[in-house]
Amino acid sequence: MITKVLTKIIKQTDAPVAFAHCDGPCGVYDPASARIAAEAVLSMSKKMEGLADSTDIHDKNNFARYANIKEEQAKLAKDEVLVLWTDYFKPEHLEKYPDLHDLIWQTTKLLSKAKQHVDPAVAQEALDNIQKIHDIFWESKGKDVAWYTAS
């Protein structure tokens, strides 16, 4: 009796929702999203480097805008890589590609570094790693998808 009364009292307040479904039921994954964002990081890093010595106020404004875009796109690239890691890749992929864990880890670290610094070499290294993830991803799906860049 007391259990029922307590349960009724507890249920007067809303409980936080826990999801018993997936956040990507269509199963659509593609490293292209990470690649596009990482390309933007590389592009912004190069543009910022080119404006480093300028004292022109318009250049300063652009520098700030590029920094903002670099920050956003690096985070996006990192998120996209982590979604592949947590939602697509499975234990059998790790068995087949034993370096995959380290590759993902290093890529996300590089993307964090690309946010913290203005260093096109770091951004390029992150993009190179995303190409390796691309190769593994499509091989795991049995498809021959060539790597390309938009820029």
Q: Which residues of this chain interact with other proteins, rule CB under 8 A? A: 2-4, 6-8, 10-11, 14-25, 27, 83, 85-91, 94, 101
Label each residue of 104-142 as H, E or C.
HHHHHHHHHHHHHCCCHHHHHHHHHHHHHHHHHHHHHCC
Residue whose CB is less far from other proteins, 92 or 144:
92
87, 24 Cβ separation under 8 angstroms: yes
Which C-beta is closer to other proteins: that of 96 or that of 101? 101
**Which of 8, 58 has the CB closer to other proteins?**
8
Minimum separation from the CB atom of position 89 to other proteins (A): 6
Q: Minimum distance between the CB of residue 13 and other proteins, rounded to whole angstroms?
A: 9
CB of 83 to other proteins, least distance (A): 8
Q: How near is the Cβ of 75 to other proteins at its closest, in Å?
A: 13
Please, which residue, 119 or 139, has the CB nearer to other proteins?
A: 139
Residue 57, helix vs strand vs coil: helix
Q: How far is the CB of 27 from other proteins (least distance, A)?
A: 7
CA distance 102 to 136: 13
- Choose among 36, 37, 31, 27: nearest CA to 132: 31
Q: How many CA atoms lie within 13 A of 144 on its CB side?
A: 0
Q: For other proteins, give the closer residue by CB, 22 or 57.
A: 22
